[in-house]
Structure 1
Amino acid sequence: MNSTPLPRPRGKAHRPTPLRRRVAGAVTGVLALVAACLGAVAGAEPAAAAGLTQVTSFGSNPGNLAMYEYAPAGLPAGAPVVVALHGCTQSASDYFAHSGWQKYADLWGFALVLPQTSASNNSLSCFSWFDPAKDTRGKGEAASVVSMVSHAVTQYGSDSGRVFVTGLSAGGGMTADLLADYPDVFAGGAVDSGLPAQCATSQTAASTCQYGSVNLTPAQLGDKVRASDPGYSGPWPRVAIWQGASDYTVYPVNGTELRDQWTNVWGIGQTASSTQTLPGGTTLSVYDDPSGRPAVQLYQISGMGHGLAVDPGSGTEQCGTTGSYYLDTICSSYYTARFWGLDGSTPPGGGGGTLPAPTAVTVAGTTDSTVSLSWGAVTGAASYRVYRGGTLAGSPTGTSFTDTGLTAGTAYSYTVAAVDSSGAVGAASSAVAATTTGGGGSGSGQCFTDNNYNQVAAGRAHQSGGYTYADGSDQNMGLWNLFTTHTLKETGADYYVIADGTC
C-alpha cells in the first residue's frame, strides 16, 4: 500500500474522506498519517539551525533518538528546561526554527531540548505515540527523552522541578504519553494538535483516536494516565491543550478528550472555571485546581486546521514563522510559557503552596532609582516574595516593599507571592509595571545600565531576530534577554551608543 500521506491544503480546512474508505486504505498510508502526520515536508532534514547543538552522548537511548539542545548565553543555574517534540516528517531544526521557543528561551532564560526521531524508527519520522514498546515508562522513545532531560539538568544545573514538555501532532501524542509516564519528571506539558495519553496501543487502533472519539468517560481516560505510573498520586503536571476547530488530521474531539482526561486526573470537573477570548479566533477555557490555580487550559482556535499556532512579529506576544503546518493565528508558545510561569508571573518552582495570590498590588511611588509597591494582606502569610522580571527582589514580612538601586527612566515588571509558615510559596499576583523617573532628554549625555530586555522596554533599543540593537546607532548589543547587560549613552535625540565602562 502507498505509505505516503495525502497532501493537505496548508492552513485550510480539508473535507474528510468517508470512514470506510479511510480504513480500507489506511493500514500503512493513513495510519502513518495517524501517527500524527504533518504531511507535506519531504523527509526529515538534519538539524542545523543557528545555535542548535547536537549532543551525541546523553545516556541510555533505547528509542534510538537524536538529542539537540539550545541555551541562551549566561543561563544561570536553577533555570527551567523545556523539551520540544517535532511532528511527522519534521526535524528538531525545523521545529526550532518555526515554533518560537528560542525567542522565549532568550527572553526569559531557560534551556531547550529538542529530541529527533528518524525514518529508521518510523517511515515518516513520527514519534511512536501508539506503540507500548516505545511510549511507556522505562521503554523506547519515552525513556530516551527522559535520559535527555537528565543530561540537560546536570549540564546546565537546571531546576529539576521545572521541566516541561511540549509537542506538535505526533510529538503532541508523545507529549501526553510522557506526562502520563513520568509525572514525577515533568511539571507541565502542552499538547498541540495531539492525542490523549495512551489513546492507542497499536498503529491500527490509532485511526480511531485520530479521526473520532474513543467514547470513553473522563474517568476511563484518566485511568489511562494513572495506569501509566501505578502508585503515583501527585502532584500532577499542569497541561495546556491547543486544538484547531477545523483540524481534519487530528479531529477536534481529541482536544476535549484531552481536557476530560487531565481534569479527571486532577480530580476537578469538566466545567470551565473561566473562559476568555484571545487573538486569532482563540477561545481559552481554564480549569482551576482546588486552590484556584489553573491546572488545565484548553485553547480552541476557530477555523484553524492541523498544525502549530504561530504569530510572526516582533511583539512580546508574537512568535514563530509560518511554514508547512505552522499556521498564522496566535503564538501558542507565548501563552504556554506564561501558563507554566516561565515569564516570572509564577514564582520560580511554580509556587506549590496553597496560599492565594496577593491582590491590589499597586505601585505606590517611584524615584530615579526606586520603585515602591504595596498590596493587600493574605491570610496565613508569614512573609512575601517580590519578583522583578521573574527574579527575586526581596522578601518582606509586611505588605509593602521598596526596590532600590534601579536605573532612571527604566520600565520594570513586578509580581508578589505569599509565603506560609512552612516556607511554601503560593500563587503569584498579576504583574504590575513601573517606570523609574528621570532619563535624559535630547542629547542629554545620560547613561543607562540595564539588561537588554529592559533597554528595549524602556525605548532605548530594539530587537530583531532575537538580538538587541541600540536605537539610533544600531550597534549590536547581543541577545535580547534578561542576562545580557550593557550601558547605553544618549548622544542625541533618540540616539544611543554602547558605553560600557566609559560612563
Structure 2
Amino acid sequence: MTAIHDDHSLYVPATAPRRGAPLAVMLHGAGQDPGDFAAGTTMNLAAERHGFVVLYPAQPSSANAHQCWNWFEPAHQTRNAGDPARIAALTLQVAREQGVDIDRIYVAGLSAGGAMAALLGDLFPDVYAAVGVHSGLAARAGTDLSSGLAALRGAPREASVPREMPTIVFHGDRDAVVHPLNGTQVIEASLGADCAFESCEHTGPDGRQFTRRNYLHEGSGVRGEHWTLHDAAHAWSGGSLGGSFADPLGPDASEEMLRFFETQRRIPSHGSRAADRF
C-alpha cells in the first residue's frame, strides 16, 4: 500500500509485520520525485519480498529549484538544520507511527540523494543502522558550490576519521555525472582506506560485468560492499525504465541493498537510541 503526502510517500508492504518491521528511507536524485524514484528503482517490489517499510521523502522546488538535496551547502550539513534535520525528523515520525524496529532503520539514495544518505549516516548514527549510496558522494565531499562541482568531477578528498557506518555502494565506471572515484571515497569515509576487503569479478545473467568488494571488520563480518558496474552510466542498477535514471541491466541494486541492510543493526556505541527521541 502506498500513501502519498505533500512531503513524502510511504510504502507499507503486505508482508511487513504489524510492529517491528525494518524501515528503508529512499532519497531521490535531482529532478526526481518520490513516485518517479520508486518506479525507477522498483524498491517497492524488493520491499515486498523482504518485508521493509519504505519512506520516500520529497525535496520541494521551494528548497531547491532542481529538487536536489543540498548536500554541498554548510547550512545543510549539521544535525540541527536544513535537509538533514528535516529528513531525520520525518524518519522518526514515520518510525513512531508505523511501529518499526528502531534498530533497523536504513537510508539510501541516488546521486544527490546518495550524497545526502551518506551525510545522514555521518550525522545520525543514533538513527540509521546502515547506508546505501548509488552513484553518489561521501559526506561533505563539497562544502560550497565550487567544491561540490569539483567533487562531481572526481577531485581528491581529504582523509578523515572513518565514521564506521556500514555502507553499500553501487557506481558505474562510465558515470559521466558523478565521477566513479566518489564510490571509493564513500567507502573510505565510512570504513577507512585500510579496511581489509575481498574482491570478486562477476558477470550477471544479463551480461553485465561488475566487481564486488566486501569490506571486513574483524569479529563483525561484512561491514561494507562496493559494487563497480562495468560500462554502466549514471543510473540505478537493475531498475525499470518506468522511472528516470534507471538501468534495467543488473545487478539489482534494490534487492542487494535490502539484503545488506538485513545483516546490519544499529550499533549501541553510536549514541542514544532513536526511541529516546520519540
The TM-score bracket by the shorter chain reads 0.7 to 0.9
In the alignment, is the contact (CA less than 8 A) between 1:240 and 1:298 conserved in 2? yes
Identify the match of residue 127 of structure 2 among 185, 207, 216. Answer: 185
- In structure 2, distance between residues paired with 1:144 and 1:324: 25
Identify the match of residue 69 of structure 1 among 1, 10, 17. Answer: 10
State the match for 2:274 in structure 1: none
CA spacing shift, 1:278–1:285, aligned 2, 3 Å: farther
Identify the match of residue 249 of structure 1 among 161, 177, 182. Answer: 177
Identify the match of residue 161 of structure 2 among 211, 222, 228. Answer: 222
> How far did residue 350 of structure 1 move?
4.1
Q: How does 1:22-37 map to 2 (within 5 A)?
A: none
In the alignment, is the contact (CA less than 8 A) between 1:310 and 1:321 conserved in 2? no
Identify the match of residue 248 of structure 2 among 291, 303, 328. Answer: 328
**In the alignment, residue 222 of structure 1 is paired with which amino acid?**
V
**In the alignment, residue 256 of structure 2 is paired with which amino acid?**
Y
Identify the match of residue 186 of structure 2 among 219, 241, 258. Answer: 258
**In the alignment, residue 334 of structure 1 is paired with which amino acid?**
E
CA spacing shift, 1:156–1:249, aligned 2, 3 Å: same
| RMSD value, Cα | 2.1
> How far did residue 85 of structure 1 move?
0.5
State the match for 2:22 in structure 1: 80
CA spacing shift, 1:254–1:272, aligned 2, 3 Å: same
Aligned-residue sequence identity (percent) comes to: 27
State the match for 1:337 in structure 2: 258
State the match for 1:100 in structure 2: 42
Identify the match of residue 203 of structure 1 among 133, 145, 149. Answer: 145
State the match for 2:3 in structure 1: 53
**In the alignment, residue 306 of structure 1 is paired with which amino acid?**
H
Gaps of 5+ in 2: 269-278
1:290 and 2:218 are equivalent in the alignment? yes
**In the alignment, residue 269 of structure 1 is paired with which amino acid?**
D
CA spacing shift, 1:294–1:247, aligned 2, 3 Å: same
CA spacing shift, 1:332–1:290, aligned 2, 3 Å: same
> How far did residue 215 of structure 1 move?
4.3
> How far did residue 149 of structure 1 move?
1.2
1:169 and 2:111 are equivalent in the alignment? yes
CA spacing shift, 1:186–1:215, aligned 2, 3 Å: closer
State the match for 2:96 in structure 1: 154
Identify the match of residue 236 of structure 2 among 289, 302, 308. Answer: 308
Deviations 1:262-306 (A, max 9, x none): 121xxx724423434252211110111111511111000000111
How many aligned residue pairs are there?
A: 263
TM-score (norm 1): 0.50
> How far did residue 129 of structure 1 move?
0.6
Deviations 1:22-43 (A, max 9, x none): xxxxxxxxxxxxxxxxxxxxxx
- In structure 2, distance between residues paired with 1:179 and 1:351: 11
Higher helix share: 2
SS in 1 for 2:74: coil
SS in 1 for 2:76: coil
TM-score (norm 2): 0.88
Deviations 1:37-90 (A, max 9, x none): xxxxxxxxxxxxxx432345xxxxxxxxx1221102363211100000000110
> How far did residue 153 of structure 1 move?
1.3
CA spacing shift, 1:351–1:189, aligned 2, 3 Å: closer
SS in 1 for 2:45: helix
**In the alignment, residue 159 of structure 1 is paired with which amino acid?**
D
> How far did residue 209 of structure 1 move?
0.5
Q: Which of 1 and 2 has greater Rg?
A: 1
